[in-house]
């Protein structure tokens, strides 16, 4: 259990670092969504299914959609 949780935390860290260094903003948003998704799995494993559901629905679906809509209106690549 502790190994699975640690593995998921490492995955989240990788996703978060990737989200901050990607120059392509769409890729960065997808990486952030990945962090949310792994966080949802982690919440579920730590017996917080209520939070997991909210995290999966809001973090991994709605936020990503809002970010992508915003990127479409502005620029895709960071300078």
Q: Which residues bind other proteins (CB under 8 A)?
A: 49-50, 52-54, 57-58, 61-62, 65-66, 69-70, 72-73
CB of 9 to other proteins, least distance (A): 15
**CB closer to other proteins, 3 vs 47:** 47
CA distances from 70 to 26, 42, 73, 74 (A): 10, 29, 5, 6
Q: How far is the CB of 23 from other proteins (least distance, A)?
A: 21
Joined together, the tokens standing for residue 46 give 């730590």
Instruction: Find residue 77's DSSP bridge partners.
Output: 24
């Amino acid at each position: 259990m502790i190994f699975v949780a640690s593995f998921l935390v490492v995955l989240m860290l990788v996703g978060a670092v990737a989200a901050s260094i990607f120059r392509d903003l769409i890729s960065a948003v997808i990486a952030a969504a990945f962090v949310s998704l792994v966080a949802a799995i982690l919440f579920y494993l730590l017996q917080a299914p209520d939070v997991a559901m909210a995290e999966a629905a809001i973090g991994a679906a709605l936020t990503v959609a809002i970010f992508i809509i915003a990127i479409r209106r502005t620029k895709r690549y960071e300078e």
